[in-house]
């Protein structure tokens, strides 16, 4: 039964990924593609916010696209330090037991 549940979850994830890919391919406009991507990924992950970040050589970067739930402050076009973004990711990775 555990194997059947795992297969069903895998199938659901693959179907969601196929749906997201289909929606992304509906446009040739880069802005629309990026907006669709962050929107679909936010919904897929059930996250408060998903953003795309363009990294600059100086260790900072610009938020170039974002999908954020109401009630959260948008950060589109803001310049952020990579260290500020990486620190929570490193903490989550360590808590999950990854090297």
Contact 66, 74 (CB under 8 A): yes
Give the mean pLDDT of 72-89.
78
Residue spans per domain, the chain = 2-95
pLDDT band of 84, cuts 50, 70, 90: low
Reading phi first (left if > 0) and then psi (alpha if -120 to 50, else beta), residue 72 is in beta
pLDDT at 6: 84
| 2-95: CATH architecture | 2-Layer Sandwich (3.30)
On whether the CB atoms of residues 75 and 61 are closer than 8 A, the answer is no
42 pLDDT exceeds 80?
Answer: yes
For residue 76, pLDDT over 80 is answered with yes
Given CA atoms 63, 76, 79, 30 in this order, what sign does their dihedral have?
positive
Angstrom distance (rounded) from CA 65 to CA 77: 8
SS3 content of the chain, % helix, strand, coil (to 5): 55, 20, 25
């Amino acid at each position: 039964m555990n194997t059947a549940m795992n297969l069903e979850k895998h199938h659901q994830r693959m179907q969601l990924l196929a749906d997201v890919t289909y929606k992304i391919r509906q446009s040739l406009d880069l802005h629309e593609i990026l907006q669709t991507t962050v929107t679909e990924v936010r919904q897929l992950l059930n996250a408060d916010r998903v953003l795309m970040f363009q990294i600059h050589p100086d260790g900072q970067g610009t938020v170039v696209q974002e999908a954020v739930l109401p009630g959260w402050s948008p950060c589109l076009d803001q310049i952020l330090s990579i260290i500020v973004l990486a620190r929570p990711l490193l903490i989550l990775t360590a808590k999950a037991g990854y090297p």
